[in-house]
Chains A and B, each alone.
Chain A
Amino acid sequence: MTAMLSTRDLVAGYEARTVLDGLDLDLPADAFTVIVGPNACGKSTLLRTMARLLTPRRGAVLLDGTAIRDLPTREVARRLGVLPQSPLVPEGITVADLVGRGRQPYQRWWRQWSTEDGRAVEEALAMADVAGLADRPVDTLSGGQRQRVWIAMTLAQDTEALLLDEPTTFLDLAHQVEVLDLLHRLRAERGRTVVAVLHDLNQAARYADHLVAMRAGAVVAAGPPREILTADLVRDVFGLDCVVVPCPVTGAPLVVPARTQTSAVPAATPAPAGASVGDA
């Protein structure tokens, strides 16, 4: 396994709170890596630190073996795209305009646009299937469309690797699958390295080549989902009893919660239908 992104003895956090304490991790190149874990386990902090949105207190993030803080931020932006958790949509900006911002690392104030910029933006619009929306203001779009526009912006950046923080949150199931299919195609057809934080374990198991399970700021297990995703791991990481069965469609591990507190209560108070793992 060649690691594209690695962390070495990484310590990071916010204000007085230390979230990650001495984390060592290698994320493989040309793979779709999914990071999972309970709320506040540090998965977003890890992603933000790897994307140099958060400066670590100690240790280093390595991009192809070079410490990311030693690289100019423009150069990093040409190799590593990042989609933060809930980016702010500038008021009134159009889709094509926002996607064009992804070309920033290739532009200067005297050379604000090139043919290459045009090509990359057209391609990104097409890949994320938002070309038909190019002239629409982003703030008039639905949540699913908006998320695809943001992904298109990071695609226009034309980077080897893409880091996404909960790209499917706030989307309905069909749109979640759409976004995950797009990320899968990026990996399979374009050979991009994709790293995403996801909440849904079953989606993680279905799409990930490499799964990283975190708890309390530490990595509990990492590897292909079929090898590491077991009932023991879910109990260990989420504190949830479950049964792991093969998915009838893909054969990937499928996590089905076993008896929970609500289903143990006598039938007088009916359990909510479809109580499942994941969904925070």
Chain B
Amino acid sequence: MRALAGRSLVRVGPLSVPVRRRPVVVAGVLFVLLAGAVVISLSLGTPYVAPGDVLRSLSGAGTPYDLVVRDLRLPRAVLAALAGAAFGVAGTLIQSVARNPLASPDVIGVTQGAGLAATVALTSGAAAVLVAPAALVGGLVAALLVFALGARHGLAAQRFVLAGVAVAFALRALTEVVMLAADPIDGLRAQLWLIGTLAGKGWAEAAWIAGTLAVLLPVLLWAGWALRSTALDDDTARGIGLRPVARRVGLAATGVLAAATVTAQVGAVDFVALVAPQVARRLVRAERPPLLCSALLGALLLVLADLAGRRLFAPTQLPAGVLTAAIGGPYLIFLLLRTRGRRS
């Protein structure tokens, strides 16, 4: 039917959802790639474990590699996938609300708020367990500040982004002041946190992120539908019976919550939230970033970045945050060049 604009209708019980073929195919391919990347990530390292043995170990067959695969490498790979997915979700929501492909949690101040709080915790001798909660609170407080500053015109796109950039710069400056005044060793630890690393992290961190995503899941199901109206201007949206300001606040708050949670657990990993939605949008050729594909792409990107960080200069380990920009940046440039000149 022409009115469905190239979609097929999926009906399951009371559900009736038009679906385009391309995003489904892209999501399928991304999922396979992600599974492959996780297996490779479990396989490479010292000792090397053949992919066949990785799969046998994962299936619970009991192999000599169980300790390496299941206890040492699996938690970190799962954490990378979950954190990447959460970054992808956060980026999609914030970019859509801001109507700006450059807006992401690390541009609008959430990451910097978390960074300042974590730096204070790390350099003031607070207990290590307090770093993540402090970062979570820091990220959320920064977001509240941005919302308050951007609220005057109903969280209008440009004002929201400008307020975010201003808050981000101010918080970064404060972080540097704290770092310069701190003991050099503590300062280094803070710096590593600010880059973002998965080293030494595993199930506990993954559980926090998974829990948050699970709690947000009903909201995300709604968001996948609500996001399509963010491209309309407010008058048009009100005309068709929507409440655009309430929607923006709801979507942005969901994105901020996901971003603050994941940043608190793995540190200020740059670029995943920025690049995953934009690459996903170009892959599915849609007018806005697709939620599920962005999450899968974020997961794939962070798994690959962590793997590259572990293996490229082994035995020296690079933090994943260094590699995300190195992998994601060139790919986005490639896509921009490829789609130049034709409308996607």
User: Which residues in A have some Cβ–Cβ distance to B below 8 Å?
Assistant: 48, 51-53, 73-78, 81-84, 87-88, 90-94, 96-97, 99-102, 104-105, 109-114, 117-118, 121-122, 125, 131, 134-135, 137, 139-140, 153-154, 157
Q: Which residues of B contact A113 (CB under 8 A)?
A: 4, 9, 16-18
Q: Does B241 have its Cβ within 8 Å of any Cβ on chain A?
A: yes
Selecting from B29-37, B126-134, B222-230, the interface stretch reads: B222-230
Closest 10 CB pairs of A and B: A77-B241, A90-B231, A121-B3, A84-B235, A109-B225, A82-B239, A105-B241, A96-B5, A88-B233, A92-B287
Contacting residues, chain A, for B61 (C-beta < 8 A): none
CB-based contact A100/B239 at 8 Å:
no
Contacts of A102 in B (CB 8 A): 240
B236, CB-defined interface residue at 8 Å = yes
Interface string of B1-18 (1 = CB under 8 A from A): 111111001000011111
Contact A111 B16 (CB under 8 A): yes
B22 on interface, CB distance cutoff 8 Å: no
Q: Contact check, A92 vs B343: say whether CB atoms are below 8 A apart.
A: yes
Q: What residues of B have a CB within 8 angstroms of the CB of A48 in the complex?
A: 235
User: How close is A197's CB to chain B, nearest CB, in angstroms?
Assistant: 14
Interface check B344, CB cutoff 8 A = yes
**B314-344 interface with A by 8 A CB criterion:** 343-344
Tell whether B238 is near chain A: CB-to-CB under 8 Å.
yes
**B235: chain A residues within 8 A (beta carbon):** 48, 53, 82, 84, 87
**Chain B residues with a Cβ closer than 8 Å to the other chain, count:** 37
List the count of A-B residue pairs having beta carbons below 8 Å apart: 116
Known: A90-B287, A102-B240. A109 touches B221 (CB 8 A): yes
4 other contacts beyond A92-B285, A105-B240, with CB at 8 A cut-off?
A77-B240, A100-B4, A101-B229, A109-B221
By beta carbon, the residue of chain B nearest A74 is: B241
Closest A residue to B237 using CB positions: A104
Q: Distance (Å) between the CB of A85 and the closest chain B CB?
A: 8
Closest to B12 in A: A110
CA–CA, A102 to B239, complex, Å? 9
Closest to A101 in B: B240
- List chain A residues, Cβ under 8 A from B287: 90-93
Q: Is the CB of A76 within 8 A of B241?
A: yes
Smallest Cβ-Cβ distance to A102: which chain B residue: B240
For this complex, 22 residue pairs linking A to B, each with C-beta atoms less than 8 Å apart, are A52-B238, A53-B234, A76-B241, A84-B233, A84-B239, A87-B233, A88-B233, A92-B343, A99-B3, A101-B240, A104-B229, A104-B241, A109-B222, A109-B225, A111-B16, A112-B17, A112-B18, A122-B3, A134-B2, A135-B2, A135-B6, A157-B240
- Tell me the nearest residue of chain A to B233, going by C-beta: A88
- Residues of chain B at the chain A interface (Cβ within 8 Å): 1-6, 9, 14-18, 221-222, 224-226, 228-229, 231-236, 238-243, 285-288, 343-344
Task: Decide if B343 touches A137 in the complex (CB within 8 Å).
Answer: yes
- B239 touching A125, Cβ below 8 Å: no
- Using Cβ atoms and an 8 Å threshold, which residues of chain B touch A73? 238, 241-243
> When the two chains form the complex, which single residue of B221, B225, B226, B239 contacts A51, counting CB atoms closer than 8 Å?
B239
Contact B344 A92 (CB under 8 A): yes
B231 touches A91 (CB 8 A): yes
A97-B236 in contact (CB<8A): no
Cα A101 to Cα B228 in complex, Å, equals: 9
CA distance A277 to B229 in the complex (A): 39
Distance from B250 Cβ to chain A, minimum over Cβ atoms (Å): 13
Interchain CB contact (< 8 A) of A118 among B3, B243, B286: B3
Picked from B3, B9, B15, B236, the residue with its CB within 8 Å of the CB of A100 is: B3
Q: Please, which residue of chain A has its CB at the minimum distance from the CB of B225?
A: A109
Chain B residues near A117 (CB, 8 Å)?
3
Least Cβ–Cβ distance between A50 and chain B, in angstroms:
12
Closest approach, in angstroms, between the C-beta of A127 and any C-beta of chain B?
Answer: 13
Q: Which residue in chain A gives the minimum CB-CB distance to B232?
A: A90
- Asked if B9 contacts A111 (CB within 8 A), the reply is no
Residues of the B chain whose Cβ atoms lie less than 8 Å from the Cβ of A111: 14-16
CA distance in complex: A105, B237 (Å): 10
Q: Which of A53, A81, A93 contacts B231 (CB 8 A)?
A: A93
